Structures are given as C-alpha cells and as structure tokens.
C-alpha cells in the first residue's frame, strides 16, 4: 500500500532529519509510530500523506512513485488516505454534522446521498446526540472523535492519526484506540503516531520506532 525505500529528508541545506528509511504499510495492517519528542514523527506522517517530498529515495503510494505524481493526480490519491490531525482542524462555524460531511460536500455530493452515512458514522463514534452543536461546545475528546469521523467519511483505505490521544484522559484514550482497532478489523489500514508507551502496551500491534532520523520495526 505504501513503501519507503532508503528515504532521506532535509530542510534546505541543513542536516538530514530523516535518513535511510525503509518500511512498508501493508493492506489491512495496524501499527503504532513512536519515538521521542522531536524525532520526526509528524514529518514522517507528512511524507506518507504526500504533503512533503523526500530529498532522496523512493516513496510508493498505492503503486505510484510519488515523485511522478502530477499536481492534478494528487487529490485523487489523497482521498484514499484519511488523516486525523493533532489539532483537530474543525471549523468552528459548522456543526459537528457539517464538519464531518464537509469532505463529501467538497466533492460535490448531494446531501440526500450522504446524510445517512454521516449520521451512522457519528453514532459509531458516540456523537449521535452531539451532531448539531458547534465545536466550541464540544470537549477535547468529542472534538477528537469528530475529527476521526471526518477522516473516515470518505471511506479511506488507510488512516493516519497524529497523536490522537494526546489531549484526552487515559480511559478515553483507550476508547479511541479501540475505535481504531475496530476500524482496522473492518479492513482499513491504520497508523497511529503516539509517544504513549503505556497505551501501546495495552494493544498487540506492530511498532515503528523513530529515533535519530532512523526507524526500527518491531513486529
């Protein structure tokens, strides 16, 4: 699904912040991405989402060499990847329902075609009774679940989540990870960037450990 071969990345003329990365994200797989603060987890996530290009090496996404993907082709590839950002990125003037439905509206879908899907998804993440409120009214955990629902509404083949449990208490963090596990059971590949070792120890999953610009993988 996604393959890195000897990937390196530097900003400008500075030293490489990521170097010689080789890894694969397989279909229907579940993995944690971890490492110390500042190790480059968010940078690696941006490479996965194709919002950054590597300085060297090969990144293949759904069989395409990202160096050869044109600007016109990029949106269709990105629609196959869901992203949950660390800062939620919800629009405060839209309700929970409208935030989740936004990716489909942007695609030009009629509301009559997707309303049922949005409502069902909000029920699945436990926000069925909060769909008509604005984000400022939501708790941090509710905002995170709304962001997860928005990332899932286009039915992506892979979900990337950047520190999705960083702003919630431990019980809610476990609940969120269980949502990701259930999503993976239904067929979506999941990659979760986190520094929470205690949380990872509660789930049997592959670990991609990033430190000093390099990765080690523990199956």
pTM for the full predicted model: 0.90
How would residue 169 be classed by pLDDT, with cut points 50, 70 and 90?
confident
Domain presence at residue 23: no
Q: Is a pLDDT exceeding 80 seen at residue 13? A: yes
Domain presence at residue 64: no
- Residue 163's pLDDT is 87
Q: Is a pLDDT exceeding 90 seen at residue 173? A: no
Domain count, the chain: 1
Q: State the residue range of the domain holding 127.
A: 90-155
Pair of tokens at residue 9? 């990345």
Residues 117, 123, 125, 128, CA torsion sign: positive
- CA dihedral angle for residue 112, residue 113, residue 117, residue 118, rounded to 10 degrees: -50
Running DSSP on this structure, what letter comes out for residue 14? S
How would residue 87 be classed by pLDDT, with cut points 50, 70 and 90?
confident
- Residue 197's pLDDT is 87
Mean pLDDT of 46-50: 93
Domain presence at residue 49: no
Domain presence at residue 151: yes
């Amino acid at each position: 699904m996604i393959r890195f071969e000897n990937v390196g990345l530097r900003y400008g003329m500075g030293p490489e912040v990521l170097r010689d990365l080789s890894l694969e994200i397989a279909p229907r797989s579940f993995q944690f991405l971890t490492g110390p603060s500042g190790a480059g987890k968010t940078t690696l996530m941006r490479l996965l989402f194709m919002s950054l290009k590597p300085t060297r090496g090969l990144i293949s996404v759904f069989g395409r060499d990202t160096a050869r993907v044109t600007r016109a082709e990029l949106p269709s590839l990105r629609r196959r990847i869901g992203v949950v950002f660390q800062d939620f990125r919800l629009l405060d003037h839209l309700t929970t329902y409208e935030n989740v439905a936004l990716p489909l509206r942007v695609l030009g879908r009629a509301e009559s075609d997707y309303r049922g899907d949005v409502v069902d998804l909000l029920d699945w993440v436990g926000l069925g009774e909060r769909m008509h409120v604005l984000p400022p009214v939501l708790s941090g955990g509710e905002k995170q679940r709304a962001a997860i629902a928005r990332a899932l509404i286009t039915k992506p083949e892979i979900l990337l989540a950047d520190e999705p449990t960083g702003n919630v208490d431990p019980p809610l963090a476990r609940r969120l990870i269980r949502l990701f596990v259930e999503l993976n059971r239904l067929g979506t590949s999941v990659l979760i960037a986190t520094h929470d070792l205690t949380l990872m120890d509660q789930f049997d999953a592959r670990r991609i450990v990033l430190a000093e610009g390099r990765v080690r993988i523990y199956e």
